[in-house]
A and B are shown apart, each in its own frame.
Chain A
């Protein structure tokens, strides 16, 4: 009981010091909202749900197979497209289109080569060229997908021709001479292209599209607030390490020991003080988020709260550990700033983690920030349920336990 009382008194002492430090209060309570406001207004806007525009060019002369294909694909009336179907635009000049991509004015296009028909008809094979701007990720992927679909259709035709001719020859239905085979191939090909859309009707897998509403704009606060909450809760806790080192250096901790306060109570008191400060921070963050920025806590608000509390506990444990690993106040301060500023962008506090390359998302998992922001994003952006974020909660708890154990093992009250 006495120990608990000591823990409480030390925690309250730390909180009082924090409350009196106007600069610190400004930095950890007011300052984060300047970021939130800035990124909220940078990202807020009307939703854009435009169709992808895919440009197609051919280098073949008029009359070539590619002209037939493009004519069949080209969008002449956008109102007839089904939801999500791309607009196909036929560009007539290959060089102009190529220059436009080089100049960054066009995201990309698909080009049929000058010998496309010859390559198909003779069976020697041909290629489709996708010319794209590296930065136009979506258009590039769509162009490649579209070109792949055209290529796949021709592969299907080729496979049909090869299998049919083999069977017809082997079954003695047509003679094995070149002329007869050529005639049979022409007949099969004529059948393919008579429909115009190159056998699309023969597809065994059809797609039905059901529209269930319109795309709604995402409230940027849903990811901005959680990101800066994680960053500043960790930052505020990390700099506490400097205070602990200072108290160790000026023998405050030793004096506390002399007054019958146990080492565990000191550690518990500083931890509790840091954690309570973090809890105040998250309370302010979420209240401002809900009432001012109208954030949506998703289907499992309890999970958001538990995740926030675990973030606070982990951050406080980290501060304890950092204080036990460094010798000087300056090192503690520098390392606190360095870790806070490196782990924040790495862990998805400055930008959502899911927009980063997958391998970097994997690397990011070395930081507790990444687990916290992933959990918040799952809950607040993708409609996850409580069960979906249990792994993130467990990992944060794991970080807290590891940091806490190191802190207990290394904790010294004396600077010597």
Chain B
């Protein structure tokens, strides 16, 4: 047992000294999580594109488009009428704003002007929001004309000069811009903590499994080069060597998970001391199940490349069906397939502890299944494990 543990310890030491390996197993999950966090986890605001056909090109049309471009989260794409029609026909865009010729002229002469939305159906959710933004920006431009028009109407026939009206209107609009009569205040609920709970376990388990299964390549390499066979000339037995590799893989996976979870603890404060320890227990059992699979890969692969391909394909399928990036609905056929993925059990167990405040007792089934995978995997891999190509 002492020799077995020595092999494991030595592998962990080598792992911590190998910069490339550390980068792959620690930096990559951090980069992936950061990417997904910044992509989907931060404060989310609406971002859309307003497709505009400007057939007017006058002062007010240009000003209107400029104001739309200045609206946060809105991008404006100017289309020709023909392009807009083609895109609407092909359903490439759902809504297009047409500024007709004469728009600016009508407003400048104090007449009413019209804008046209050409759209498919209700224009989809994005289209409806874009339309509401366009209406709101049009409202700002309208304000100036409406104030001027209605003030002129109120003081009509009272002998007040036009320039006095214009001066009073501009001053009043300026005051209103500086101190509006009604302000909009926003109160928002929800946000990043749920996001951390949703993605953190999946990304950790994905990369731990990746690293563990890819290390099968090293065993294949050692077998091909005769390193494993040479080790048998010491007092090590095949069983001890096998167990040594198994414990080495578990230790490596555990160290990797420990570092990633500890970093999450520090950065996101998602754990209590107890839940952190409970998660480490899950991490050990998951690493053991993954290691058993890694040993099967190492036993069946004939070349290093073969081991790499099997490990990559297995890991990718496992994390995809493990609900790493998306939730799998319970009544779907994907859910049935996801039951074959060990990541789905580990992710569920982590989620129960971290997000739902559960305890190890609540994840007994998941841990039992992972332990079962470990036992069956170990039995199979021990039966087919060879220390030399085609040998014993």
Q: Which residues of A contact B (CB under 8 A)?
A: 21, 23-24, 26-27, 31, 34-35, 38, 41-42, 49-52, 83-84, 86, 101-102, 104, 119-120, 123, 125-135, 137-138, 140-142, 144-160, 162-164, 166-168, 170-171, 173, 188, 199, 202-216, 218, 299, 330-331, 333-335, 337-338, 341-342, 345-346, 350-351, 356-358, 360, 381-383, 385
Nearest CB in chain B to that of A158: its residue = B181
Determine which of B90, B182, B309, B334 lies in contact with A42 in the assembled complex, contact meaning CB atoms within 8 Å. Answer: B334
Pairwise interchain contact B176-A162, C-beta atoms closer than 8 A: yes
The one of A141, A159, A205 in contact with B129, judged by C-beta atoms closer than 8 angstroms, is A141
B331, CB-defined interface residue at 8 Å: no
A167 to B166, CA, bound (A): 10
Minimum CB distance partner of B87 in chain A: A383
CA distance A163 to B152 in the complex (A): 10
In the complex formed, the residue of B with least CB distance to A21 is B305
Also in contact, A166 and B172, with CB within 8 A (given A38-B320, A342-B28): yes
Q: Chain B 112-147 against A: per-residue CB contact (8 Å), 1 yes, 0 no? A: 111111111111111111011101101111110111
A173 touches B158 (CB 8 A): yes
| B142 surroundings in chain A (CB, below 8 A) | 156, 203-205
Q: How far is the CA of A346 from the CA of B191 in the complex (A)?
A: 22
Asked if A357 contacts B181 (CB within 8 A), the reply is: no
Cβ of A371 to closest chain B Cβ, rounded Å = 17
Contact of A50 among B47, B122, B145, B171 (CB under 8 A): B122
Query: Which A residue's beta carbon lies closest to that of B134?
Result: A207
- Scoring B42, B126, B168, B175 by chain A CB atoms within 10 A of each residue's CB, the highest score goes to B168
Minimum CB–CB distance for A116 against chain B, Å:
8
**Interface positions of B from 3 to 31, Cβ below 8 Å from A:** 20-21, 23-24, 28, 31
Which of A27, A51, A211, A338 interacts with B119 by CB under 8 Å? A211
CB distance from B389 to the nearest CB of A (A): 17
- Stretch from B228-236, B310-318, B355-363 forming part of the interface with A: B310-318
- Complexed CA–CA distance, A168 and B155 (Å): 7
Q: Are A207 and B135 in contact (CB under 8 A)?
A: yes
**Once the chains are docked, how many angstroms separate the CA of A145 from the CA of B31?**
35
B35 contacts chain A at the CB level, 8 A cutoff: yes
Give 4 new A-B contacts, CB below 8 A, not counting A134-B189, A205-B141. A26-B309, A164-B154, A205-B139, A299-B90
List 6 A-B pairs, minimum CB-CB distance, nearest first: A141-B46, A383-B92, A23-B309, A163-B172, A204-B145, A145-B132
Provide the bound-state CA to CA distance between A168 and B88, in Å.
51
Interface contact A130-B186, CB-CB below 8 Å: yes
Let me know if A167 and B190 touch, CB within 8 A.
no
In the complex, A283 Cα to B188 Cα: how many Å?
Answer: 48
| A168 close to B94 (CB less than 8 A) | no
Number of B residues near A (Cβ < 8 Å) is: 107
- Given A207-B114, A209-B116, does the pair A215, B91 have CB atoms closer than 8 Å? yes
Contacts of B180 in A (CB 8 A): 125, 151, 154-155, 158
- Beyond A84-B131, A123-B181, A134-B43, whether A213 also contacts B121 by CB under 8 A is yes
Q: Are B129 and A101 in contact (CB under 8 A)?
A: no
CA distance A385 to B132 in the complex (A): 28
Q: What is the distance, in angstroms, from A37's C-beta to the closest C-beta of chain B? A: 11
Given known A128-B182, A167-B155, contact A142–B124 (CB-CB < 8 A): no
Given contacts A84-B123, A166-B172, contact A159 B184 (CB under 8 A): no
Alpha-carbon distance A41/B38, docked complex (angstroms): 27
Contact assessment for A153 and B139 in the assembled complex, using a CB-CB cutoff below 8 Å: yes
**Chain A facing B: main interface SS:** helix
Closest chain A CB from B31 CB (angstroms): 6
- Chain A residues near B372: list those with CB within 8 A: none
CA distance A212 to B31 in the complex (A): 45
User: Shortest CB–CB separation between residue A234 and chain B, in angstroms?
Assistant: 15
Determine whether B165 belongs to the interface, using a CB cutoff of 8 Å to chain A. Answer: yes
* Closest A residue to B103 using CB positions: A205
Query: In the complex, are the beta carbons of B160 and A167 less than 8 A apart?
Result: yes
Q: Mark B265-288, 1 if CB is under 8 A from A, else 0.
A: 000000000000000000000000
Q: How far apart are B219's CB and chain A's nearest CB, in angstroms?
A: 14
CA distance A330 to B19 in the complex (A): 12
**Chain A's nearest CB lies how many Å from the CB of B188?**
5
Tell me which of B90, B122, B172, B185 has the highest count of chain A C-beta atoms within 10 A of its own C-beta: B122
Give every chain B residue within 8 A of A211 (Cβ-Cβ): 119-121
Most chain B C-beta atoms within 10 Å of own C-beta, residue among A123, A149, A167, A338: A167
Asked whether any CB of chain A lies closer than 8 Å to the CB of B169, the reply is yes
**Are A159 and B112 touching (Cβ within 8 A)?**
no
**Complex Cα gap A104–B21 (Å):** 42
Residue B78 interfacial (CB < 8 Å): no
User: Cβ of A101: which chain B residues have Cβ within 8 Å of it?
Assistant: 189
Expressed in whole angstroms, the Cα–Cα distance for A208 and B118 within the complex equals: 8
In B280-329, which residues have CB < 8 Å from any A CB? 305-306, 308-310, 312-313, 316-317, 320, 325-326
- Name the contact of A204 in the complex, choosing from B28, B113, B176, B317 (C-beta under 8 A): B113
A233 to B114, CA, bound (A): 50
B 210-234 to A, binary, CB cutoff 8 A, 1 in contact else 0: 0000000000000000000000000
Whether B147 and A163, one on each chain, are in contact in the complex, defined by CB atoms closer than 8 angstroms, is yes
A129 in contact with B187 given A84-B117, A159-B143 (CB within 8 Å):
yes
Per a CB cutoff under 8 Å, which of B35, B150, B183, B320 touches A128? B183
When C-beta atoms are compared, the residue in chain A nearest to B168 turns out to be: A163
Are A156 and B146 interface neighbours, CB within 8 A? yes
Picked from A23, A35, A84, A155, the residue with its CB within 8 Å of the CB of B181 is: A155
The reply to whether B136 and A381 contact each other, CB–CB distance below 8 Å, is no
B183 touches A125 (CB 8 A): yes
Instruction: Please measure, in the bound complex, the distance between the C-alpha atom of A123 and the C-alpha atom of B316, giving whole angstroms.
Output: 63
Check A51/B122 contact, CB under 8 A, given A132-B189, A164-B154, A330-B20.
Answer: yes
* Contact among A141, A152, A207, A383 with B73 in the assembled complex (CB-CB below 8 Å): A141
Q: What is the chain B residue whose CB lies nearest that of A204?
A: B145
- Which residues in window 170-215 of B have CB below 8 A to A? 171-173, 175-176, 179-191
| Min CB gap B24→A, angstroms | 5
- Complex CA gap A150/B90 in Å reads 35
Query: Contact: B35 with A357, CB < 8 Å?
Result: no
Complex Cα–Cα for A123 and B175 (A):
13
B369 CB to nearest A CB, Å:
23
Q: Shortest CB–CB separation between residue B159 and chain A, in angstroms?
A: 7
The answer to whether A155 and B188 touch across the interface, beta carbons within 8 angstroms, is no
Find chain A residues with CB under 8 A from B172 CB. Answer: 159-160, 162-163, 166
Determine if A382 and B92 form an interchain contact, defined as CB atoms under 8 angstroms apart: yes
Chain B residues, CB < 8 A from A210: 116-119
- Give complex CA distance A218, B126 in Å: 14
B149 at the binding interface (Cβ < 8 Å): yes
Q: Which residues of A contact B43 (CB under 8 A)?
A: 134
Assembled-state Cα–Cα distance A357/B117 (Å): 26
Residues of B within 8 A of A142 (CB): 128-129, 132
Closest to B84 in A: A383
B261 within 8 Å of A (CB atoms): no
Q: Does B107 contact A (CB under 8 A)?
A: yes
Q: A126: which of B168, B182, B190, B312 is its contact (CB, 8 Å)?
A: B182
